[in-house]
Structure 1
Amino acid sequence: MLAVMGFSMIAIFTFLIMSKRMSPIVALMIIPLLFAILCGFGTEVGDMMLEGVKQVAPSAAMLLFAILYFGIMIDAGLFDPLITKILKIVKGDPVKIVMGTAVLSLLVALDGDGTTTYMITVSAFLPLYKRMGMNPLILATVAMLSLSIMSSMTPWGGPATRAIVSLGVDPTEFFVPLIPTMLIGAIWIIFISYLLGKKESKRLGVVEIQKKNEDYEIYSEQAATLEQKPLLRMDRWWINLLLTAILMIVLVWGIWPVSVLFMIGFGCALMVNYPSLEQQKERIVSHAGNALTVTALVFAAGIFTGILSGTKMVGAMATSLINLIPDSLGTFFPIIVAVTSMPFTFVMSNDAYYFGVLPILAESAASYGVDTIEIARASVLGQPIHLLSPLVASTFLLVGMVNRDLGDYQRFAFKWMFFTSIVLIILALLTGVISYR
């Protein structure tokens, strides 16, 4: 009975989110609560929800302050010199332009937010693509590929955060083994950009841009200067770079919890760049909308996972699912999760997959002796395909910025996204991120 109720709850939850009849935050709280009451847990559900919220609290804090930290760094201009340098280096060579797009988008995507990545990357390079007569779908594809690598694996990115929260795994244990896969994946993205650039180079040739001041108008349209952006703190650029480097080193070292690291990092970044109380208030308010929305989603997910675990629905559903999987395939469970994450996350939102489907898969995998952390890592390897889904809001922003139709973009980008997912799965196997027994 619990298995039937659990599958019904997930089906209704998924339907309501995919049909946009209910927001993810509301659905994550209300749907499991109603099913818990129907199953006779009305007097116990409060403790279940509270326990779930306690479990996700560190992840929520980490995500909140990571968004604020990277927001401050973008405001202060940490990435601006790189943007300007890249634009001057690539000049009129399509190969260099596309590879420069990859380098910039990979770095900007470290903040884990698709909207920020697309806005900065497309704003910086679209005028150059137009001037060169290059296909803007290449720009969009490279930006999305970069986001799929950096956002899906970093513990403050959307997919990784959901996997960490829904399965209750340690962010550092999740992330550190993924670093080689992420770095080699980034090299793969640069290689793809080289291939795409070569294709454009054959079509257009290399267009020389003379080194005269008037010829650099294309750069001034998107390369920020201190006079154009009063929020920039270029005189403190090295301090910001050092602070970010220290933050990443300590994070990889694993001596402090990730949530505490970003809290301290955010405080230092705020003091260094915007010392006055009024400036600090303005910067926090400017990024509060995005940070609050994501953090609220994480706490709502705590209610969902708390009820799912407290009512034992997860165990009942996992048992019924295990009965459908041949024993011969049980040892390949991480690979199965990685491969199936591609179609699953394309046809459903990340919320539906990570909070509805993934806990069941993890519970099923545990019966075969597969560690939950491997299932969490495997679940993010299909994200390149997910980002092509019409369920992803930032994808509409991307195709809108390059003024193309979503269908045209999907046809152009699908093979690159698919190959990237396969490459990530192979890399994860080779580096021991996931395994089979």
Structure 2
Amino acid sequence: MLALLGLLTILVLLYTIMSRKLSAMVALIAVPVAAALIGGFGLQTGAFALAGIKNIAPVVGMFVFAILFFGIVKDAGLLDPIIDRILRVVGLKPSRIVLGSAVLAAMVHLDGSGAVTFLVTIPPMLRLYERLDMDKRILACVVAASAGVANALPWGGPTLRAAASLNLPISEIYLPIIPAQVVGLLAVFAIAWWFGKKEERRLGLTGAAAAGGGEFHTHDLSEDERALRRPRRFWINAVLVVLVLGSMIAGVLPPVLCFMLGTVVALVVNYPSVAEQRARVDAHARAALMMASILLAAGVFTGIMGQSGMLKAMADFVAGHVPAGTAHHFPFILGILAMPLSLLFDPDSFYFGVLPVLANAGASLGVPKVEMAQAALMGQMTTGFPVSPLTPATFLLVGLVGIELADHQRFTIPVLFGISVLMTLTCVVTGVFGI
């Protein structure tokens, strides 16, 4: 009976989110609370929800301060010299332009926001593609691939959701998959270079013509953007980013504290007045609050599902109907399917509805939950998010580039799927999970 109630709760959650009957935040709170009351748990429901919120609090704190930290150093101009240097290096040579597009997208995606990545990367690079009459689908593809692989960062939406839904430390999930992410990025850069070479041949740009005669495009800033820049503090901000990320990855301090301290230093160094500090926090508060509210709501959902026993009952039911000898294949199969699943499930539906059931069923058969989380990050809303019609960032990307969604998907999905499979195989080779 408890397993059936849990299944119905998951199905109602998926339906209400994917059909847009309810927002993710509302569904993650209302649906499990209603299910717990129907199941006869009464006032215990509050204790279940509170337990889930307490477990997820460090993840929420890390995300909020990661958004603020990267937003502040970006406002201060940390990326400007990098963008200018990339534009100068790529010149008007297609192979360099395409590779530069991929590199720039990977660097800008440090803050974990697909929308920001596309808004910062596409405009300066698009002018080069249009000037040389290059295929704009290539720009959308390499930027999507680069941002997708980078989206598996510890403060990226998928990793945060995986950690929150399975109540696992982010470092335990992320550190073992770093080699797979590195291989994924190298694959993106190799594909970008190959695309660029193809464009040079198609456009008849060879030899001196392909070099562009030393010309290059410039990156223009608005008056408001220039007012926020702190070019003299570039190296201070660069060292600060390295220290924050290094401390987090090395485990010197908890991730939430790393980003808290980093945010404080970034504000004091770049915007010493209280009014300036308030303005910078306000500028990035909307993005931080939106995700934080979803994560806290997810805490209610995971707390009720876990504490009530519904999740365990469903997992036991699934485990009882799966041959024990096949369980070790779960992570590899999920890794292969993860990218296509982005076309079927939005991140909240998958990470809070589907993944916990799969992970708990696997755990009942001896498969560590962390392996299922790592497998999901090989594609589900990482490489998959920039082509999924379930994410607004996809429509922003095709809108900025000026192509149709169908054209973008036909051109880009095979590339992203191939990269996802390569990352999954890398995890097998490095022993993250078996085949």
Instruction: Give the shorter-chain TM-score range.
Output: over 0.9
Q: CA deviation at 1:429?
A: 1.2
Q: How many Å separate the matches in 2 of 1:148 and 1:395?
A: 11
Q: How many Å separate the matches in 1 of 2:434 and 2:285?
A: 40
Opposite residue 418 of structure 1, the aligned amino acid is F
1:8 paired residue number: 8
TM-score by length of 1: 0.95
1:85 matched to 2:81? The reply is: no
1:19 paired residue number: 19
**Percent pairwise identity:** 39
Opposite residue 375 of structure 1, the aligned amino acid is M
Q: How many Å separate the matches in 1 of 2:122 and 2:279?
A: 26
Alignment of 1:168-179 (within 5 A): 168-179=167-178
Q: CA deviation at 1:120?
A: 0.8
Q: CA deviation at 1:324?
A: 3.1
Q: How many Å separate the matches in 1 of 2:197 and 2:153?
A: 30
Q: CA deviation at 1:325?
A: 2.1
1:187 paired residue number: 186
1:45 paired residue number: 45
Q: How many Å separate the matches in 1 of 2:266 and 2:173?
A: 26
Alignment of 1:280-359 (within 5 A): 280-359=277-356
Q: CA deviation at 1:403?
A: 1.1
Query: Residue 94 of structure 1 contacts residue 200 of structure 1 at CA under 8 Å; is this kept in 2?
Result: yes
Query: Residue 226 of structure 1 contacts residue 234 of structure 1 at CA under 8 Å; is this kept in 2?
Result: no
Q: CA deviation at 1:377?
A: 0.9
Query: Residue 346 of structure 1 contacts residue 387 of structure 1 at CA under 8 Å; is this kept in 2?
Result: no
TM-score by length of 2: 0.95
Aligned length: 429
Q: How many Å separate the matches in 2 of 1:97 and 1:119?
A: 17
Q: How many Å separate the matches in 2 of 1:100 and 1:202?
A: 18
Query: Residue 386 of structure 2 contacts residue 397 of structure 2 at CA under 8 Å; is this kept in 1?
Result: no
SS of corresponding position for 1:347:
coil
The range that moved more, 349-358 or 315-324, is: 315-324
Per-residue CA distance 1:67-123 (angstroms, 9 max, x = gap): 111101110111111111111111121000000111111111121110011111102
Query: Residue 340 of structure 2 contacts residue 417 of structure 2 at CA under 8 Å; is this kept in 1?
Result: no
Opposite residue 354 of structure 1, the aligned amino acid is Y
Relative distance call for 1:322 and 1:343 in structure 2 (3 A) is farther
Gaps of 5+ in 2: none
Alignment of 1:105-116 (within 5 A): 105-116=105-116
1:414 matched to 2:424? The reply is: no
SS of corresponding position for 2:357:
helix
SS of corresponding position for 2:16:
helix
SS of corresponding position for 1:387:
helix
Q: How many Å separate the matches in 2 of 1:284 and 1:169?
A: 29
Opposite residue 189 of structure 2, the aligned amino acid is I
Opposite residue 140 of structure 2, the aligned amino acid is A
Q: How many Å separate the matches in 2 of 1:141 and 1:288?
A: 30
Opposite residue 202 of structure 2, the aligned amino acid is R
Gaps of 5+ in 1: none
Q: CA deviation at 1:343?
A: 3.3
SS of corresponding position for 2:155:
coil
Q: How many Å separate the matches in 2 of 1:188 and 1:236?
A: 34
Opposite residue 279 of structure 2, the aligned amino acid is E
Alignment of 1:327-406 (within 5 A): 327-382=324-379, 383-406=382-405
Relative distance call for 1:228 and 1:384 in structure 2 (3 A) is closer
Q: How many Å separate the matches in 2 of 1:91 and 1:223?
A: 16
